[in-house]
């Protein structure tokens, strides 16, 4: 059935086209253009075709109007009752035209009697999401019936929030007999609908008109909005006001004060009376934002400022002023002009941080981006030109990026320990008059990297500890500091592996790795070791790990833990020393010398000799020398010829330790030195005494050589200071040589390098001294005693301080200051490889050298040697005596 119908339609089309071909030159043709939105419902009016063709509805029916479609689908039809072209079937623009920028449907209108053909093109407009809208749903107009054709009436314009092609495009007025629509476009693109009177009005025939104004946007498909226009026909006021001269443009400074006159408009009306009186106002559809800024005086036409005028809000305002008379009905006219706002420098630059690194590693390379910011000034021209700078003196710089964007970069190396964080202030200043500026500050913190070594509180430490200490006793607390933070400053202490006298240092001390407290591992013995050093290492926990070392010098202090022991003469197996005294021995006869040593040192090694026993009154012993002498003359007529004594040897320690030595003294007619014979007998000689004698000989030889060199240097210096050397050399003809060297000073220096320790004379500038002592030699002493030069404060010029032994502790033990003590408190020869006083009393290889004290040895010398080791009581050589006087 459907195929038959299609066949009939196709045949009819062919006949029609053939007819059109034969009557081509007799047929009148025209073209009608319409537009319709896609998806419009069937029955929607596309256009008033009868009106456009100049036909009424009755003529359409008589002339058998029909629509011929060029496509297989018939989208349109004619409403025979209204003569309008309507949609027959819903149109899908996308399926019809695809992506084509324009979409049209073309059809032919065929009329009979006479035959006419008209072309109809319908544009299908794509839909959009917003439709134009009017502020009011109904507008009322009063129009005089005497209004002349061509009179215009400003209508409300619609507002479409869309932009571009989807914004407001056109207006369409519903069909009527007297009015037509005219659209004007303002300079800002706003389309204004204007109602134009097309024919004279006749109030008696029609008192009012109801017109539909349709606003269509340019969207695809288009959307539209409508408003009702109610036109009331009034009796005439035949003259409308007229403005004297057109106004095109007015300028106004932004931020002009309220009440500032913008312009005064002026219009006149040729009518008289109320019909000639004019009232000024803004047009009815003036936007609200203009009404909030400007006002017009209804009588004078003065337009003044009533609100804040801001160039940044709008550069130009289009204003329409309306002049209306008081006639009945009133007549009006309008005047359009632009108000251009002149910019002034009223805005400060606005700084916006778009991106910021709040924390930055201190080892970043120069040129690292820290922040990205944008700076905008809403002013224009010079007022909107901005200069940017950051805080001076910081290792950062600002660089232009693009448009209004800038970057802040690092410039130079950063160090968190010098500055942990930076406050960067960005200052933006425009070029206006006066200039405006703004600031924005932000903080950049530096994260730590392990770039610093731990540092000890001091490069080296010295600590004293008494021998025989308890194990695990606190020795020293070391401290260190690392300027880094976090794990990079968490410190751990340790002891570097080393050997002390052949044993690992860990067997002597250990350290608390966290606190740095050093403890002893065991009891220390001064007689085995009196000084040693340990290397303390501190490391942080950063990556990479950084470490530092410090040296700790440990000085062991002697304690009185050894009793005196007999050194000479050797004690026989029976435990009693046998001495012989000749019967003719007088008072003060030396029986023998008893020499004891104490393995301790210092005060603990100072020995005192005394006698006890039944026959103690017959003898006396030197308290410091151990020389046993007769107190009175002994003879064979005594009750007995064998005397028993006990020699008590005490040290000066606290508490004091002592040793008792039993002595039997036999009075003989012809006494021989038994002890000497025993020592001279090879069969009774022991390896110990032989070694001791060898050591003593070597030590005495070294001491004598050093003493001779020292005495020579002191004498030369003394002679040089007092002019005796100059006089002597002057007499010998060495004047020139003396002149060259008379200002050279000599001083003593302790040399501990090598197996032999000795004092050497070193030339160099020394302090001036106020007192000197000349050497004096005793007649009974086997060596020469002398005292060094003395400084004004009483201390010797030769400095034997702990610093010397801190650098050479492994070669020689530190000296004591026994020479400062009074005579009754000075020690005897004792100690391990140690010396007492600056007279260099050496005791090598765990032995001590026996010998008479200087004060006793020189007791019989002329003038005496004075208390040991004080200088002899010999005055300085006076000028004019045996010495050479100064040369004048």
Question: CA geometry: angle at 488 spanning 487 and 493, to 5°?
Answer: 90
pLDDT in tens, 286-302: 899 999 999 999 999 99
- DSSP assignment of 63-105 equals TT-EEEESSSS--EEEETTTTEEEESS---HHHHHTT-S--EE
- Asked if 173 and 214 count as a contact pair (C-beta separation under 8 A), the reply is yes
The β-bridge relationship of strands 332-342 and 249-253 is parallel
pLDDT tens digits, one per residue of 483-522: 999 898 899 999 999 998 888 998 899 999 999 999 998 8
The answer to whether 497 and 504 are in contact (CB under 8 A) is yes
- Could you name the CATH architecture of 138-234? Sandwich (2.60)
Please check the confidence at residue 102 and state whether its pLDDT lies above 80.
no
Distance CA 63, CA 384 (A): 72
Q: SS3 of 837, please?
A: coil
Record: fold of 16-125: Immunoglobulin-like (2.60.40)
Tokens, residue 620: 């006396």
Q: How many Cα neighbours within 13 Å face the side chain of 63?
A: 21
- CATH top class, domain 350-447: mainly beta
Residue with the bigger pLDDT between 858 and 217: it is: 217
| pLDDT above 50 (res 617) | yes
Asked if 459 contacts 550 with a C-beta cutoff of 8 angstroms, the reply is yes
Q: Cα(497)–Cα(505) distance, rounded to whole angstroms?
A: 7
Q: 840 CB contacts (<8 Å, ≥6 apart)? A: 703, 706, 707, 759
Distance of CA 383 to the CA centre of its chain: 38
Assess whether pLDDT exceeds 70 at residue 162. no
Q: Do 336 and 312 form a contact (C-beta atoms < 8 A)?
A: no
CATH superfamily of 565-685: Cadherins (2.60.40.60)
Residue 833 pLDDT greater than 80, yes or no: no
Question: What pairs with residue 761 in β-bridges?
Answer: 748
Q: What is the mean pLDDT of residues 525-545?
A: 91
Q: Architecture of domain 455-557 in CATH?
A: Sandwich (2.60)
Which sign, positive or negative, has the C-alpha torsion 307, 313, 317, 323? negative
In 310-469, where do the E strands start and end?
316-325, 332-342, 350-356, 359-361, 369-376, 386-390, 396-402, 405-410, 421-430, 437-447, 455-456, 460-466
What confidence tier does 583 reach under pLDDT thresholds 50, 70, 90? confident
Domain with CATH 2.60.40.60 in the chain: 16-125, 138-234, 242-342, 350-447, 455-557, 565-685
Joined together, the tokens standing for residue 442 give: 């932000």
With left for phi above 0 and alpha for psi between -120 and 50, is residue 169 left, alpha or beta? alpha
Cα–Cα distance, 130 to 222 (Å, whole number):
9
User: At a CB cut-off of 8 Å and minimum separation 6, what does 512 contact?
Assistant: 493, 518, 519
Q: What is the dihedral of CA 787, 788, 791, 795, to 10 degrees?
A: -70
Chain mean position to CA 742: 62
User: How does pLDDT run across 772-816, given as a tens digit for each residue?
Assistant: 333 333 333 333 333 333 333 333 333 333 444 444 444 334 444
Distances (CA, A) of 587 to 623, 840, 882: 18, 34, 38
Query: At residue 680, what are phi and psi to the nearest 5 degrees?
Result: -80, -15
pLDDT value of position 675: 41
Residue 381 structure tokens: 């021209």
Q: Which two tokens stand for residue 344?
A: 């002034």
List, for residues 673-724, the tens digit of each pLDDT value.
444 444 444 444 445 455 677 878 888 889 899 889 889 988 887 776 655 5
User: What is the reported pLDDT for 818?
Assistant: 44
**pLDDT class of 213 with cuts at 50, 70, 90:** very high
At residue 812, the pLDDT reads 38
Work out the average pLDDT over 236-245. 78
Q: Kindly give, in sequence order, each residue whose CB lies less than 8 Å from that of residue 578, ignoring residues fewer than 6 positions away.
A: 572, 664, 666, 674
Q: What DSSP string runs through 634-690?
A: --TTSS-SEEEEEEEEEESSSS--EEEEEEEEEEESS---HHHHHHH-GGG--HHHH
pTM of the complete model beyond 0.75: no
- How many Cα neighbours within 13 Å face the side chain of 252? 31
* Structure tokens given for 517: 């407290």
Residue labelled with tokens 């004004």: 792
Task: Please provide the average confidence, as pLDDT, over all residues in the chain.
Answer: 76
CATH of 242-342, one of 1.10.150.20, 2.40.110.10, 2.60.40.60, 1.20.950.20: 2.60.40.60
């Amino acid at each position: 059935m459907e195929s038959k119908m299609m066949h009939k339609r196709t045949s009819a089309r062919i006949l029609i086209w053939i007819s059109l071909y034969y009557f081509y030159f007799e047929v009148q043709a025209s073209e009608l253009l319409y537009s319709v939105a896609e998806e419009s419902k069937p029955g929607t009016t596309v256009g008033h075709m009868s009106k456009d063709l100049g036909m009424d509805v009755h003529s359409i029916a008589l002339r058998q109007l029909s629509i011929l479609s060029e496509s297989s689908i018939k989208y349109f039809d004619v409403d025979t009752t209204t003569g309008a072209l309507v949609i027959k079937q819903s149109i899908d623009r996308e399926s019809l035209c695809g992506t084509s920028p324009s979409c049209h449907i073309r059809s032919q209108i065929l009329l009979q009697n006479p035959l006419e053909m008209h072309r109809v093109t319908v544009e299908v407009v794509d839909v959009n999401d917003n439709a134009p809208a009017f502020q009011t749903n109904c507008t009322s107009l009063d129009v005089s019936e005497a209004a002349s054709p061509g009179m215009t009436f400003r209508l409300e314009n619609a507002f479409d929030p869309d932009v571009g092609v989807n914004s407001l495009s056109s207006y369409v007025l519903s069909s009527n007999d007297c009015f037509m629509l005219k659209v004007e476009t303002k300079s800002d693109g706003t389309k204004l609908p204007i109602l134009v009177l097309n024919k004279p009005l006749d109030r008696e025939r029609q008192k009012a008109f109801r017109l539909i104004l349709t606003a269509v946007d340019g969207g695809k498909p288009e959307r539209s909005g409508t408003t009702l226009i109610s036109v009331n026909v009034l009796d005439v006021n035949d003259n409308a006001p007229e403005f004297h001269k057109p106004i095109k443009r007015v300028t106004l400074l932004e931020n002009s004060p309220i009440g500032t006159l913008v312009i005064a408009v002026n219009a006149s009306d040729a009518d008289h009376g109320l019909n000639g009186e004019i009232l000024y106002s803004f047009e009815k559809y003036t936007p609200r934002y203009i009404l909030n800024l400007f006002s017009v005086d209804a009588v004078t036409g003065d337009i003044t400022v009533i609100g804040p005028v801001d160039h940044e809000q709008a550069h130009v305002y289009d204003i329409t002023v309306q002049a209306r008379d008081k006639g009945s009905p009133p007549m009006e006219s309008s005047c359009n002009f632009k108000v251009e706002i002149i910019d002034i420098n009223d805005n400060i630059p606005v700084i916006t941080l778009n991106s910021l690194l709040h924390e930055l590693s201190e080892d970043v390379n120069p040129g690292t981006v820290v922040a990205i910011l944008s700076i905008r000034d809403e002013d224009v021209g010079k007022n909107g030109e901005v200069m940017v700078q950051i805080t001076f003196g910081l290792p950062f710089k600002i660089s232009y990026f693009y448009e209004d964007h800038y970057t802040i970069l690092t410039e130079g190396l950063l160090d968190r320990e010098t500055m942990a964080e930076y406050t960067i202030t960005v200052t933006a200043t425009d070029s206006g008059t006066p200039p405006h500026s703004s600031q924005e500050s932000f903080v950049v913190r530096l994260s730590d990297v392990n770039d610093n070594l731990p540092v000890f509180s001091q490069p080296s430490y010295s600590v004293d500890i008494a021998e025989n200490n308890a194990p695990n006793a606190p020795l020293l607390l070391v401290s260190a500091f690392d300027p880094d933070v976090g794990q990079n400053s968490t410190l751990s202490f340790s002891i570097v592996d080393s050997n002390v006298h052949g044993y690992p240092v860990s067997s002597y001390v250990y350290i608390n790795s966290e606190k740095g407290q050093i403890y002893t591992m065991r009891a220390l013995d001064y007689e085995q070791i009196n000084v040693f050093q340990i290397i303390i290492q501190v490391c942080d926990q950063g990556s990479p790990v950084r470490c530092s070392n410090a040296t700790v010098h440990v000085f062991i202090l002697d304690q009185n833990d050894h009793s005196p022991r007999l050194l000479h003469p050797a004690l026989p197996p029976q435990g009693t020393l046998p001495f012989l005294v000749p019967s003719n021995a007088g008072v003060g006869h030396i029986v023998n010398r008893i020499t004891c040593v104490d393995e301790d040192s210092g005060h603990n090694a100072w020995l005192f000799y005394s006698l006890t026993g039944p026959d103690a009154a017959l003898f006396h012993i030197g308290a410091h020398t151990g020389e046993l002498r007769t107190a009175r003359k002994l003879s064979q007529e005594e009750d007995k010829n064998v005397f028993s004594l006990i020699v008590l040897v005490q040290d000066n320690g606290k508490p004091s330790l002592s040793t008792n030595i039993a002595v039997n003294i036999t009075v003989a007619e012809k006494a021989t030195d038994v002890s000497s014979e025993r020592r001279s007998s090879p069969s009774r000689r022991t390896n110990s005494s032989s070694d001791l004698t060898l050591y003593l000989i070597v030590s005495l030889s070294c001491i004598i050589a050093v003493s001779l060199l020292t005495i020579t240097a002191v004498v030369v210096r003394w002679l040089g200071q007092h002019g005796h050397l100059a006089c002597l050399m002057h007499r010998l003809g060495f004047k020139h040589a003396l002149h060259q060297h008379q200002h050279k000073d000599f001083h003593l220096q302790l040399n501990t390098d090598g197996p032999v320790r000795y004092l050497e004379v070193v030339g160099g500038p020394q302090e001036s001294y106020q007192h000197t002592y000349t050497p004096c030699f005793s007649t009974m002493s086997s060596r020469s005693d002398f005292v060094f030069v003395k400084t004004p404060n009483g201390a010797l010029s030769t400095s034997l301080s702990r610093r010397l032994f801190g650098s050479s502790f492994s070669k020689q033990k530190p000296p004591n200051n026994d020479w400062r003590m009074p005579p009754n408190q000075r020690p005897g020869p004792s100690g391990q490889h140690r010396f007492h006083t600056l007279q260099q009393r050496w005791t090598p290889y765990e032995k001590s050298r026996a010998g008479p004290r200087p004060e006793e040895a020189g007791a019989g010398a002329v003038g005496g040697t004075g208390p040991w080791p004080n200088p002899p009581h010999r005055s300085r050589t006076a000028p004019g005596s045996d010495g050479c006087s100064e040369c004048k």
